[in-house]
Amino acid sequence: MLRLPALFELPILLNQSPASMAAWENLPSDFFRIVYSRRRKGVLRRRQIIETATIDGRVEDGRDEVVRWRRHLHRNPELSFQEEETSRFVYETLESFGGLQLSRPTPTSVMARLFGEEPGRTVALRADMDALPIEEENDFEFASRNPGVMHACGHDGHTAMLLGAAKILAGMREEIKGEVRFLFQHAEEQPPGGAGEMVEAGVMEGVDAVIGIHLSSYLPVGKIGIGYGPRGAAADTFEIVVKGKGGHASRPQKVVDTVAVAAQVVTNLQHAVSRNTDPLDSTVLSVTRIAGGTTHNVIPETVEMEGTVRTLQEEAREKVAGTMERIIGGVTAAHGASYEFEYRRGYRPVVNDEGVTRVVEGTAREVFGEAAVEYLPPAMGGEDFSAFQREAPGSFFSVGAGNEEKGITYPHHHPRFTIDEGALLTGMKMFVCATFGLLDGGKEAGP
């Protein structure tokens, strides 16, 4: 079979003259052109032609199957570190495609490796598989049948999309130069997270670039959200115990009122952000739980608090814990109380590599059109995709899954969250097309 990169010298790729356009139109219908490029003075710097049935056609052919996979996963959700049936389903589905080298890096994760006809770069594609401890309120035929567990963040869709992409790419092995590595990750929702465990198991060894997709109900279906640099926050947690002297509520002069002291701690902790952090360094500090006392007329010995800190810059992250402890110590000492403080570091910030993200953006514009791309500001949510990015340049981007006309507007982690299943096709196509761009050395592409 003719290796199509030899056709790069065709004049039709180098200009837009009428003769060239006519030549392009006369190419066989089963030639599909994917261009991963940035233009400099009107010249395409990277391009690739693939001789195959169109990727559009392959994606459309897989529509029903991918929707069926997603609904099966939605109906059978499993919590973090408990994805036994989910990972078994993924493994057996991948096995049915043929041509993939399968392994289980951890007890509830799956890796599939696809080796092309020739050596080259290695690109990793990631999907998370775990669900949340939420009681579903949707009345779908495929609603969760596991009480108190629900796919309320789109991970069922992520898994189905990557299965679909794996099937398409496995059928295009002759066109692949290099390796594609499919990472089906467990436990994104629960620190310490599954990504770090998979990295420790060696799944990123030799990887040149990694990408991941998150379905978003905040974006309309058909849109693709791109962000450069910081994309998601470090997600740390803390626990505080304020210790005092309990007693009768009618004699406050005889006690050290832990409730009053805890209230002062909450108020003063806000200064850790507003007066101790550079306004340009995005930081969020939220106290989300306070517990103390058993009845109306007893001042408790202790009050417990916990919450979260989100930061985009590592410098701000390093500083905030010390600032918090200084404030907590000062407030409690001023009122004759004492304290315990534990600060736990969670996922690192998600920081998108410029070169890989440029390929993702170029793919989205070429395949879906200029209007499909939206630039997204950094978000303060946490994601352990950052563990993969510490091993190789990577990009984490969003695919729109919301649809106001269908009432698909509920936020993530809501008991009525769902997705427009048309987003599954967008995600599959982005996985497949961006993979070819990155295998083709797309990280070096740019103006």
CA angle 47, 436, 445 (to 5 degrees): 50
| DSSP SS3 for 241 | strand
Query: Tokens 């679909």 — which residue?
Result: 164
Q: Please, what's the b/e burial string for 435-445 (b: 16 or more CB within 10 A of its CB; e: otherwise)? A: bbbbbbbbbeb
121/441 Cα distance (integer angstroms)? 7
Q: Which of 83, 128, 136, 188 is catalytic?
A: 188
Q: Please, what's the b/e burial string for 131-142 (b: 16 or more CB within 10 A of its CB; e: otherwise)? A: bbebebebeeeb
Q: How far is CA 44 from CA 16, 41, 47, 361, 433, in A?
A: 11, 9, 7, 15, 17
Q: Count CB-CB contacts under 10 A for residue 227.
A: 22
222/429 Cα distance (integer angstroms)? 12
Paired strand residues for 50: 32
Query: Tokens 């001042």 — which residue?
Result: 299
**440 carries an active-site annotation:** no
Q: Identify whether the C-beta of residue 181 lies closer than 8 Å to the C-beta of residue 112.
A: yes
Greatest Cα pair distance in the chain: 95
**65 carries an active-site annotation:** no
Residue type, 434: A
Q: Which of 78, 83, 128, 130 is catalytic?
A: 130
Q: Identify whether the C-beta of residue 199 lies closer than 8 Å to the C-beta of residue 109.
A: no
Residue type, 161: M
Phi, psi of 291 (to 5 degrees): -140, 130
Catalytic residue set:
130, 188
